Amino acid sequence: MDTAEPSIVPQVQEDSVAVKPEPHTLPLRENSPADASQPPVAPTNTVHNYSTRSKERHKEEELDKRSKLKQQQHNVVIHPRLKPVPFKRLDLAINNGEPQKNKALTLQGIDFYQSDDSPFNKRGFKYKPCRPNPIFTSNLYSTTDTKPYKVAASYFDRSSGVYLDDEMCLVTTTQGWRSIRSNIGVREGTYYFEFNIVCGNDDGSKAHVRIGLGRREASLEAPVGFDGYSYGFRDVNGEFMTLSRPKESYIEGGFHTGDVIGFLVELPSLEEHQRYITQNYTPMNDLGAFSGIKESESPRKKRKVKAKDVLPENSDFYKDGNILRDQIPIKYKNALFYEQYEYTNTKVMDHLLNPVTIFGEKAVLEDSDGKLLANIPKIPKSKITIFKNGVKQPKSIEEIYSFLPTDVENDSLHMSYNTKQQQNPNYRNTDDGSLGYYPMMSVFQGGIVGLNSGPDFKYPPSVPTKPLNDRYEEAVIDEWYWDLIDEVEARYMDSFEA
């Protein structure tokens, strides 16, 4: 039976009991001549009820009162959450196994493809596959993945000008510098992987490649090493690049077509990393408690609070390994994805890259001796060791910038929040589980480079080390674990609505 949707104008229902009209007309008003043309009007016995809108409003008010009473009884405050749209039966048949690939070009006898079925991570948002989950009664959806089910180049985390081979290992472009990250990064531990240089830095060729590691915030429309969020190496002479400033050569003789460059990434445990950040970049009794700041030099100034509604327990959101994910399922070209806020550049990192502001003022980032004033947190005991065709290079990168959030901002100490989500007005310096360092590849006008995450390496390390591909199963378990945590939390929040 079809039910009419309530209109904006309240609908008034009348009693269905028929009323028999009186045989006589209504009495005329006193001193008024009778109007023979006026038809007789029968009195009615009409009973008016509440409109549909009024009933709904009254029901919502009653539910709100009961919810607040229940929250008082449990001594909690529950904020309304954005609930996902219920999935349809047809959504259960959606296959997220692999996006449709369209052949784009052939280089060096290798076919490269482009896919328009997957959204790109850009404009402050990022995406990952999801699927309906009937056992999740509150969140309704859970995380899934696409082929090739290993650590490889990402469908979503790339510039639109990057093309991929069928195995999602090799990448190229016909344009200027374009970049791509792997689908899974490193947050802690020691891992090894290789970059295969298929075409680059040959005599008489414009094709070039750059390789390295990048964070979520690193630009994909520029080569790795363009900003402070990535560390890259040039193929021309093996120069180390970061903040678009070439350093000394770290790879002897650079690298060319046919070379294999190995990366050994060593990061401390997240517990040790977080403990170091907490001890050195979190305010205690006063600002003099910061590491490296003498008591006599510390200004007695309270830290800035941008918004009045910032919760006092803000730091608790990211300590002890807590993961907070803001994600909502969407449908894009008949496929399901989670849309999340992406991490974006902070003011300090922008000033490091561009010391001159738009107003022509020079950002104060260095003292008279050229020492960096910006107090940017680094990862203790972090190290990146480089191998060329199995030969360990003499220089390595140490003490790379931290990717974990911090909860302090003070201009006098040149300290600022370490993470930012520009599109998220309610961001409170939290970790959504995606923060870390990712293998990053950059290509230029026909350059071709590939990622080998293992376990079969052309030049395996002499010391037994985990291949980067081991991170895939770890990441799948992490996603499933936090899906369960989010579902339990959502059910608990929804229980206060009854």
Range from 172-186, 406-420, 434-448 carrying the lowest mean pLDDT:
406-420
- Closest by CA to 187, choosing from 280, 266, 73, 246, is 266
Strand extents, DSSP E, 25-143: 102-107, 110-114, 125-132, 141-143
Name 263's bridge partners.
193, 386
Range from 125-129, 311-315, 386-390, 395-399 carrying the lowest mean pLDDT:
311-315
Q: Please answer whether residues 112 and 172 qualify as being in contact, where contact means their C-beta atoms are separated by less than 8 angstroms.
A: yes
Is 370 within the bounds of a domain?
A: yes
Domain limits at 158? 89-497
Scanning the structure block, which residue is given the tokens 């989950």?
133
Is 450 within the bounds of a domain?
A: yes
Name 332's bridge partners.
335
Quote the Cα angle for 334-339-340, to 5°. Answer: 170
Peptide bond into 33 cis (omega under 30): no
Strand extents, DSSP E, 200-307: 208-214, 230-234, 239-242, 245-249, 260-267
Q: What is the pLDDT of residue 278?
A: 85
- Closest by CA to 442, choosing from 178, 70, 217, is 178
Q: What is the pLDDT of residue 21?
A: 45
Range from 64-78, 161-175, 257-271 carrying the lowest mean pLDDT:
64-78
Is 51 within the bounds of a domain?
A: no
- As a whole number of angstroms, the distance between CA 218 and CA 267 comes to 19
pLDDT tops 60 at residue 344: yes
Is 45 within the bounds of a domain?
A: no
Q: Of all helices (H) and strands (E), which one includes residue 271?
A: helix 270-281
pLDDT digits (tens, 9 = 90+) for 401-412: 999 998 877 766
pLDDT digits (tens, 9 = 90+) for 361-380: 555 555 555 555 567 899 99
Is 81 within the bounds of a domain?
A: no
pLDDT digits (tens, 9 = 90+) for 471-490: 999 999 999 999 999 999 99
- As a whole number of angstroms, the distance between CA 210 and CA 177 comes to 9
Domain of 317, CATH number, reads 2.60.120.920
Quote the Cα angle for 476-480-482, to 5°. Answer: 120
Is 424 within the bounds of a domain?
A: yes
Both tokens of residue 133?
A: 């989950």
Q: What is the pLDDT of residue 75?
A: 83
Provide DSSP, 137-160.
SSS-EEE---TT-SS-EEEEEE-T
Is 36 within the bounds of a domain?
A: no
Highest-pLDDT range among 94-108, 169-183, 372-386: 169-183
Both tokens of residue 434?
A: 């995606």
pLDDT tops 60 at residue 29: no
Q: What is the pLDDT of residue 257?
A: 97
Q: What is the pLDDT of residue 395?
A: 96
- Closest by CA to 338, choosing from 186, 145, 68, is 145
Query: Average pLDDT, stretch 210-224?
Result: 97
Overall number of domains in the chain: 1
Scanning the structure block, which residue is given the tokens 């896919």?
115
Quote the Cα angle for 118-142-185, to 5°. Answer: 60
* 210 vs 82: which has the higher pLDDT: 210
Residue at 160: amino acid letter: S
Is 16 within the bounds of a domain?
A: no
- As a whole number of angstroms, the distance between CA 456 and CA 448 comes to 20
Number of helical H runs and strand E runs in the chain: 4, 21
pLDDT digits (tens, 9 = 90+) for 427-437: 988 999 999 99
